[in-house]
Structure 1
Amino acid sequence: MKPFAIAGIQMKVSAVVSNVEMMKLKIDITMNLYPWTQMIVFSELCAFGPLTHAAQAIPNNFEAEMRAKAKEYGIWLLPGSIFEKSEGKIYNTATVINPKGKIIKRYRKMFPFYPYETGITPGNEYCVFDVPKVGRFGISICYDMWFPETIRTLTTMGAEVILHPTMTGTIDREIELSIVRAMASVNQCYFFDVNGLDTGGCGRSIVCGPDGRVLHQSEGTEEIIPLELNIDRVKRSRELGILRLGQPLKSFRDHIKSGKFAIYQPNIPTPYLDSLGPLIKPTRLDKLAELKIKETTLEKQTAPIHYKGDTIK
């Protein structure tokens, strides 16, 4: 058994004032209550909230304070994410800090929540890192997981645990809980999803094992989620199958070598997907109805008129 203890922090997030001091306090509380914790994970945009006016360049004071906390307790730390300013663009960026207080990785969210998360530039690099003598971890942020290819790519890069800071306060949270279970099972990995509260989300953080079963699911209150994971379970699942049954990673491996996933080949036409129209924010139904009426009226005005077998234009 290769045990590794991760604590998720589900906490209230303000969009008006900085949440950094409260994050530091939560780290202190966690390490005093659960001193065996080896990694702490916060929710997406936890430090400064979901508004882009808080965007700042990296490195910055926030990273410095988080590095100091990681070094103080000798823990791995993923302090959620922040909006990062870089070369005139804004990214949603998460930082990975090791127990010596060194930054070893930064990850930019690949799928901003368009058309709602406007003004955010997507990242283009996957992020995995190794915890020595434990295993390989992958980073995914919120909407990323709605695109199975992202988690599958992290898995093919060897990730055994997916760390997933999220910020969901919308009514599709129930759907996300099922996606976490699906991603954990089809990729045979641990999936550690941490949501925030108030402007940081509706809570209901969830952790699943490599068989897709729920190890813990929070409700809508502040909570520290300390769990000791057995990383060997991932390897066993991938070698022997989920519950000694399906072996999806092996089947996927064997299938991709045949090159049968044509939709992923360059320049393959996708007429149906193209027919869906542009990526736009939905509007009021009465506005859509008004637009439809205008279109119908225009069609009638330009259509030919049939009268006693004759056509009048």
Structure 2
Amino acid sequence: MAARETTNARTLTIALAQYAQLELSDPSAFDHFCQSVRSICEASARDGKKIDLLAFPEMHLFGTGTAGEDEANQAQLDAAVDIPQSNGGETEFIADSLPARCAELAKELGIWLIPGTFCERNPEGGIYNTAAVFSPSGELSGSYRKICPWRPYERYTPGDSFTVIDIPGKGRLGLTVCYDAWFPELSRQVAWLGADIIVNLVRTTTPDRRQELVLARATAITNQVFVASVNAAAPQGVGQSLLVDPEGEILHDSEGSDEELLIDTIDLDAVSRVRRIGTAGSNRLWEQFRPDDPEIPLPLYEGHIKPLRWQPQQH
């Protein structure tokens, strides 16, 4: 990482909770979740690190244990929630709904909270796998529906749009969910929308977590952004969560599949520094195309790389 060049760093203290999934069948699951969140924040404050952002793995609150595929799918359909649209103002939650209770918890603790993903009801049938970010003021700052369900195993309805969220005074946060990370087009779009950090919420149970660790670093390198990949702990997940800087260096990683909390304070100004100076002082990826370069056809997408639109959106 390049040396700091400013005293006005946009620092963000982020906590990745590599925790075991909670069971839908447990009526006390959400109380347990609240207790965990409060304990994390209290312990961190005692250690002199006030958490700004706390993120949990994919489907953390929607575990189905050892249920078969059909039974698990039905349980998630039955538990699906409605998530209001965020319009930058006061969020109209359904009273006492799971999203409303998460918003209240974020406000109580004064943190940005990503409680994993929700089973979001699709009015046309089925469910989305939806990540939501709740602000310290108790509002829904944004939500993102997983675009690439892990087919053929996951039955979620794919999303069709991207989400980048402003954290005032800090920077911008982009969201992806698990298998999305295998498709570099998605992370590129999120980075282009101005994300300083991409948070990838994961519930990987399979041996390919090793490849996902490579993808997390590659995503950071090729987009010059921070990447946080938080996976579920055993027995549902294989853990191995990590936080990567804009040059692909691992800042923090877990030691295995047990429950673990990763906390680090990152300087989001590192994104602009690396893009200006270059990765390893050499590569300025977002300056590759110049305004007078020809357009490059991308037949796969029926589109083009347009040099005038190549650089990320400013904030």
Match of 2:214 in 1: 178
Match of 1:25 in 2: 35
Query: Partner letter of residue 33 of structure 2?
Result: M
Aligned to 1:244, the other structure's residue is in SS state coil
The equivalent of 1:106 in structure 2 is 143
- Could you tell me whether the CA contact under 8 Å between 2:81 and 2:98 is conserved in 1? no
RMSD: 2.0
Match for 1:4: what amino acid? Answer: L
How many residues in Structure 1 have an aligned counterpart in Structure 2?
A: 266
8 Å CA contact retained: 2:234, 2:259? no
Q: Give, in angstroms, the shift of residue 216 of structure 1.
A: 1.0
SS at match of 2:257: coil
| 3-state secondary structure, aligned to 1:13 | coil
Provide the residue aligned with 1:40 in structure 2.
54
CA deviations over 1:52-90 (Å, ceiling 9, x no partner): 322313146211221111001111111110211121121
Give the partner amino acid of 1:45: M
Question: Structure 2 matches for 1:34-183, cutoff 5 A?
Answer: 34-35=44-45, 36-49=50-63, 51-52=72-73, 53-55=75-77, 56-59=80-83, 61-87=97-123, 88-117=125-154, 119-183=155-219
Asked if structure 2 preserves the Cα contact closer than 8 Å seen for 1:57 and 1:86, the reply is no
In 2: Cα distance, 1:261 partner to 1:32 partner: 53
> Quick one: which amino acid aligns to residue 120 of structure 2?
E
Contact preservation (8 Å) 2:24, 2:61:
no
Find the counterpart in structure 1 of residue 16 from structure 2.
Answer: 8
CA 221–147 in structure 1, closer or farther in 2 if over 3 Å, else same: same
Mapped to 2, the partners of 1:129 and 1:267 lie a distance apart of 26
CA distance in 2, matches of 1:42, 1:172: 20
The 8 Å contact of residues 181 and 208 in structure 1, kept in 2 or not, is answered as yes
Q: TM-score normalised to the size of structure 1?
A: 0.80
Q: Which runs of 4+ in 1 moved over 4 A?
A: none
Counterpart CA distance in 1 for 2:131 and 2:235 is 18
- Percent identity reads 31
Q: Which residue of 1 aligns with 2:285?
A: 248
Which has a greater percent of helix?
1
Distance 1:265 1:16, change over 3 A: closer
CA distance in structure 1 between the partners assigned to 2:292 and 2:221 by the alignment: 19
Gaps of 5+ in 2: 1-8, 65-71, 84-93, 305-315
User: d(CA) in 1 for partners of 2:144 and 2:201?
Assistant: 12
Name stretches of at least 5 consecutive residues in structure 1 with no aligned partner.
269-313
1:250 Cα offset (Å): 1.9
Query: 1:256 & 1:172 partners in 2: Cα distance?
Result: 42
The CA deviation string for residues 17-71 of structure 1, in whole angstroms up to 9 with x for no partner, is: 3442332122111111112101100000000126332231314621122111100
Which of the numbers 246, 267, 270 marks the counterpart of 1:230?
A: 267
User: Is this contact kept in 2: 1:128–1:159, CA < 8 A?
Assistant: yes
Partner of 1:210: 246
The structure number with the bigger radius of gyration is 1
Shift of 1:261: 4.1
